[in-house]
Structure 1
Amino acid sequence: TSVAASRSVMATGDESGCVRLWDTRLMGSSTASKGMLPAGCVQQWKEHNDYVSAFETSSDGFTLLASSADCTMSIYDLRMAQQGETDKTKVVRRSDDQEDELLSLLVMKRGKKVVAGTGEGVLAVWSWGTWGDVSDRFPGHPASIDALLKVDEDTLLTGSSDGLIRVVQIHPDKLLGVLGDHDGFPIEKLYFNADKSSVGSATHDRIIRLWDARVLQE
């Protein structure tokens, strides 16, 4: 799992739960930074004991969020990290254990809410800056929520392991309908095309399907 944190900084998460920051300007360097880190890696944290499933960043690029199958979310202050802050408590926060795998992640409501899709089909919602327990839980999916895609600040798409793409409203929580069906094959990824007229979905059957996203504006 990876995400661009800024023009030159990229974050990656691996199967062991390690989160790393990479400076792409140093990727070709033969000199490793900070001793044991690989070339180009400027920071690493091992907050999770299971794989990192998804990343999100704040709109200003100063905060990185990572969800994990270990049932927690970690939050990183990238400004403090890049300034060389050694006090870990000023750089890293971690949510309470949700007792359910966190598999997908989105920032919603103009940065005021963070939504995670879980293994048991619940949308877990945090209020920004209150990173302990969730402020809201929206059950209703019969299977895991493996992919999330923002439509607007109030609406998102969920890709579930039951093969359905659902349209969901957040706060007030409401299931608005179904956009598409992959005939029971678990959905892994959801993406918009450039003009947001279509949604692409990828599943375990190795088929990519396109759906008319214009209906989302109706």
Structure 2
Amino acid sequence: MSDVSDSSDRSDIDEASDVSDGSDSSDDEPKQPNSDPQIGAGCAPADIPFETILTDVSCHPTRDAVAIGTVDGDAFVHSYALDGPSRELLHLTHHRSSCRKLRFSADGSILFTGSKDQSLCMVDLNSGALAQRLPEAHSASIYSLCVVDEHLLASGDDDGCVKVWDRRTNAAVMECRESDDFISDLAAGDNHRVLLATSGDGTLTAFNLRQRALQLQSEPLEDEFLSLALLKHGRKVLVGAGDGSVNLFSWGRWDNMDDRLPLGRSQAVDSLAAITEDLYCLGTADGRVRVASVLPNKCLGVLGSHGHFPVESLSVSRDGHLVASCSHDQRVKFWDVSSVENLRPPSEDFFAGLEAGPD
């Protein structure tokens, strides 16, 4: 995810359209077909248009609604429906600059927002009021958020710092800087005992939340790590990279990449979202929203696109039937994924169904 003013840091919009010809700089890796098959479109809600560039989208966990962040600093909550237009439920203006990340609490009663202005905010969705504002939550602009559990919230910033906050005291209970570049994404696993962070310095870092300290970090790669998702009941960690690949790690073996899925083109994998335990969506800098599988690691097809604009964010709906996406084309799009399970190829995982996930 990148603000327009910061786009030169990772991806340039014009460059994205120039390199979307299917070329790949790597000659040593197996390439996916240059033309991914189109996945049949089902019934999905209409697009939600805006008059500004969008930075993030997050689906509500219990309602047909999405939260949207904008480069202007505003945050919106909109309803959506298959049989009618969306409706604006809430418009928030508490940030002074780009609202980079939004996340709902597990019960959907609170919306957390993180901004380029370094502030972290909590909005009570029952009243629509700002419940808490930490104006200098970080010393650098906030880049990523993760709701760990009912009490803990994690945030990452442009300078590689990760903080974990206790919502009961609104105080940071962990602060670590183990990366040399922005914290692009965060995810919690192992029954909320481990926090994973990807960084622009090409590292995957695991933090032990009980010890509130670094657990292990991968060796840095040349390309930025931009996005993160957990599949296979938490046994597989997927990391989207700036070179247009998805890197696969096994849980607990953070320093040893198991496999990678090259897309056959130099397109950054800006966003990832798990659809099932075997299938996931990925959004890339060429504007396409794709579906891929784990074991076998294969790109199955394209759901659609945002033109040549990078897909900044993906989020799965409460029932798992839709994926919402946003880009610089100033609109939220919805994709029907209710039937993608039928695309899943036979598993190549010998231990499928036998090996338990992290305990």
TM-score bucket of the superposed structures, by smaller chain? 0.7 to 0.9
Q: How does 1:175-190 map to 2 (within 5 A)?
A: 175-190=299-314
1:57 aligns with 2:188: yes
Query: Is 1:125 the counterpart of 2:248 in the alignment?
Result: yes
Q: Find 1:11's aligned residue among 154, 157, 170.
A: 154
Give the distance between the partners of 2:263 and 2:197, measured in 1 at CA: 24
Q: Match of 2:211, SS?
A: helix
Computed over aligned residues only, the root mean square deviation of the Cα atoms, in angstroms, reads: 1.3
Bigger shift: residues 54-63 or 133-142: 133-142
Q: Which one has more relative contact order, counting CA pairs under 8 Å at least 6 apart? A: 2
Greater Rg over alpha carbons, structure: 2
Q: Which of 74, 78, 100 is residue 205 of structure 2 equivalent to?
A: 74
What is the TM-score normalised by the length of structure 1?
A: 0.87
Match of 2:73 in 1: none
1-structure distance, mates of 2:179, 2:337: 36
Query: Displacement, 1:205?
Result: 1.9
Looking at structure 2, the residues matched to 198 and 113 of structure 1 have their Cα atoms a distance apart, in angstroms, of: 22
**Number of residue equivalences:** 198
Question: Which stretches of structure 1, 4 residues or more, deviate above 3 A after TM superposition?
Answer: none
List per-residue Cα deviations over 1:62-110 (Å, max 9, x = no partner).
11000000100110111122xxxxxx5xx43111112210000011111
3-state SS in 2 of match to 1:172: coil
Say if 1:79 and 1:141 are closer, same or farther in 2 by CA, change over 3 A: farther
Task: State which of 330, 333, 342 in structure 2 corresponds to 1:209.
Answer: 333
Within 1, Cα distance between the matches of 2:168 and 2:284? 37
SS state at 2:210 partner: helix
Q: Which runs of 5+ in 1 are unaligned?
A: 28-39, 82-87
Equivalent runs, 1:160-199 vs 2, <5 Å: 160-199=284-323
Where do 5+ consecutive residues of structure 2 fail to align?
Answer: 1-143, 343-359
Counterparts of 1:67 and 1:130, CA distance in 2: 15
1:200 aligns with 2:324: yes
Return the offset for 1:210: 1.2
| 1:25-84: CA deviation from partner (whole Å, max 9, x where unpaired) | 112xxxxxxxxxxxx111100101110000111151111000000100110111122xxx
- Normalized per residue, the structure richer in helix is 1
Shift of 1:6: 1.6
TM-score (norm 2): 0.54
Alpha-carbon offset, residue 160 of structure 1? 0.4
Which moved further from structure 2: 40-49 or 189-198? Answer: 189-198
